[in-house]
Amino acid sequence: MSVPWRRYVALGDSLTEGLQDLDAAGNPVGWADRLAQHLADRARADVSYANLAIRGRLLAPILAEQVEPALDLEPDLVSIWGGGNDMLRPDADPDAMAAGVEEAVVRFRKSGADVLVGLGVDAKDSPIVRLTRKRTAVYNIHLVGIAARHGAHVIDVWNMRSLRDWRMWHEDRIHLNALGHERLAQAALFALGLEPDLADWEAPLPLLPRMTPREQLDWNIVWGRDHLAPWLGRRLRRTSSGAGRTAKQGTYRTVSPRPGSGNVPAADERLAE
C-alpha cells in the first residue's frame, strides 16, 4: 500500500506525548513520533508532523484545546487518543466520552483527514488500574462503532498480547517504555493498512521465570512507595502533571526519511540483555 499522508497531527495526553519513552537528552519520544518517522521512511518523502498532546489531560480538555488547532493545521492524518486519565476517576462516563470523540472524528473526516482512534488498554493485570476495566471496555466498544460509522482507523491495544507484559511498561506501571511505544507505532501502521516492520509486534514476549512471593511483595512495595503514593497525593491535591504545560509540538516540524529507508528495521530495543 502506498503512503498518502504528508501532514500528520497527534492529539492526546501523556501516552501520545511519549512520557517515559525518552531520548538521549531526556525528551519524550513516544509512539506518535515513531509513527511519523515510519511514515516518512515508507513514503521516502518528508512528513510534516505536529504533536498537540499534553500529559495529564482529561478527554474533555483534549478535545476542547486540541481539535481547533489541529484543524487549523489542515492535516491529512490525525490521531486521537485519550480517556485514560478519565478512567482513573470514579465518575468517568464512557458514553459521554465517546460522544465527544465522535464529534471530533466527524469534524476531521469532513475536513478530508483520515483519523486514527486509539482504544484503551486492558488493565486486567494491573493491581489498581484494573478497577477501570469495565468502563474502558464500554468506551472501547463505542469507539469501534464510531470508527465503523465514519471510516476511521482503530489502534486495537485492548487485544495486544505484547502489552500484557510488564517489560513493555515503565516502572510506574502507568506509562509505556520505549519498547512498548515502538509496539504501539507498529500497531498504528497495521491500523492504517501498512505492513508492520516487526512480524511479532503483537505477540507475547518469551516468558520469564515467575517471581517468588517475596519478590512479588518487594516489587509491589517499591511501586506503591515510589509511584502510587505520589499519584494519590496529586489526586488529593487536585493537581495534574500537565498543569501549566503547553503542546509538545504545536506547529509542524519536518520528519525526513532515514538513509536507506525501506530497509530500516524498527527501533525495537530487544531484551536480550
Identify the bridge partners of residue 12 per DSSP, sorted by sequence position: 81
Q: What are the pLDDT digits (tens) for 85-97?
A: 999 888 999 999 9
- CA dist., res. 255 & res. 253, Å (int): 7
pLDDT at res. 232: 63
Contact 255, 40 (CB under 8 A): yes
- CA dist., res. 59 & res. 72, Å (int): 20
pLDDT at res. 221: 73
Question: Of 258, 254, 248, whose CA–CA distance to 47 is shortest?
Answer: 254
- What ranges do the domains of the chain cover? 7-204+211-255
Handedness of CA 233, 235, 237, 241 (dihedral sign): positive
pLDDT at res. 226: 66
Cell numbers for 21? 519513552
DSSP strands (E only) in 119-172? 153-155
DSSP one-letter code for 225: I
Enter the pTM of the model: 0.88
CB count within 10 Å of CB 96 equals 11
Instruction: Count Cβ atoms within 10 A of the Cβ of residue 173 and give its class: 0-12 exposed, 13-18 middle, 19 or more buried.
Output: middle
- CATH 1.10.3720.10 assigned to domain 7-204+211-255? The reply is no
Q: What are the pLDDT digits (tens) for 147-162?
A: 999 999 999 999 999 9
Give the chain's residues under pLDDT 70: 1, 219, 223-224, 226-243, 262-273
